Amino acid sequence: MRGRLLSRLCCLLILSLGSAPAAAGVTLESVSLRAGGSYSAFEGSFHDAVDGYVVGFTAAGGVGLRLGPVPIQAELWVIRKGGRMGSLTFSDPTFGGFTFPAQRWLVSYVEAPLLAKFEFGGGRSARPYVILGPGLAYRFGGSLEQEGDLSYAYPQQQAPGRLQRARIFEDLSLNPLSDFRRFDMDAIAGVGLTLGQGRNRVLFEARWLEGLLDVLPEGAELKGRNRAIVVTLGLERH
């Protein structure tokens, strides 16, 4: 039910953005492109298992609108989020031990933020701004990447004087990320700097994305939300 509701909200958002410039009182002020990196992790009880951060690439396009006195930034992002699980070792003096390599849980989203944007500084060439608003996200992919191989350590009585290791496998065929929920929603806040006064301007921005929905599969005992810091550099044309 929640997935169908968010799907309808996404469709309404896309339709509203497409018709926005023609709506009464709405003017198109700018078009922008940007790219950068994300620094993300899972929060909630799932963070106890996957407790590390991962770095990913992100890119976006957007339009600057003005709805009466309120400046609005409507965007479309491709962003990678996720987390990192450290290596784990289980050992027994009789049966030996297993070492599971560190894993990176990488989840890819298309996200559509709709943000209020407030710029300060008047006619200066460098003007700071603040953004605030929600973002709807759709998961379109994901991968579980191992940083090494799972290995087995034989008991020491079977290998006197040294520890023998046998490689068990090189890749995981199971991808639990395919069961993650399709839709997510973020609360977004950020600060940026606009450089230039002509039609073409440079944007430098940092924003915080706080996930509002549980992204783990239905029925999972643990709960997990996305959290990310995103830093981008872009161009804006007026």
Per residue of the chain (238 residues), what is the pLDDT tens digit? 544 554 555 554 445 444 544 445 789 999 999 999 999 999 998 888 888 999 999 999 999 999 888 899 999 999 999 999 887 666 666 666 667 778 898 999 999 999 999 999 888 899 999 999 999 999 999 888 888 766 666 655 544 433 333 333 333 334 567 788 999 999 999 999 999 988 999 999 999 999 999 998 888 888 999 999 999 999 999 9
Question: What is the DSSP secondary-structure string of 67-88?
Answer: ETTEEEEEEEEEEEEEEEE--E
Answer whether residue 170 is part of any domain. no
Tokens 């030996």 identify what position?
Answer: 96
In a domain, 153, yes or no: no
Residue 22 belongs to some domain of the structure: no
Map residue 53 onto helix, strand or coil.
coil
Please tell me the distance from the alpha carbon of residue 59 to that of residue 230, in angstroms, as a whole number: 10
- What is the distance between the alpha carbons of residues 33 and 13, in angstroms, rounded to a whole number? 20
Lookup: tokens for 217: 């599969």
Is residue 109 one of the residues assigned to a domain? yes
Number of domains in the chain: 1
C-alpha distance from residue 52 to each of 167, 172, 211, 226, 234 (Å): 25, 20, 17, 12, 28
157 in a domain, yes or no?
no
| CATH code assigned at 51 | 2.40.160.20
Note whether residue 98 is domain-resident. Answer: no
Query: Does 133 reside within a domain?
Result: yes
Closest CA to 13 of 185, 214, 217: 185
| pTM of the predicted model as reported, rounded to 2 decimal places | 0.78
The confidence score (pLDDT) of residue 94 equals 63
Residue 145: what pLDDT?
A: 85
107 has which bridge partners? 81, 142
Domain that holds residue 77: 2-16+27-89+103-148+180-237
Burial level of 4, CB count in 10 A (0-12/13-18/19+)? exposed
How many whole angstroms separate alpha carbon 218 and alpha carbon 124?
51
Which residues of 54-163 form beta strands (DSSP E)?
54-67, 70-85, 88-92, 96-100, 103-119, 126-146, 150-153
Question: Is 233 inside a domain boundary?
Answer: yes
Distance from C-alpha of 140 to C-alpha of 189, rounded to nearest angstrom:
24
pLDDT value of residue 236: 97
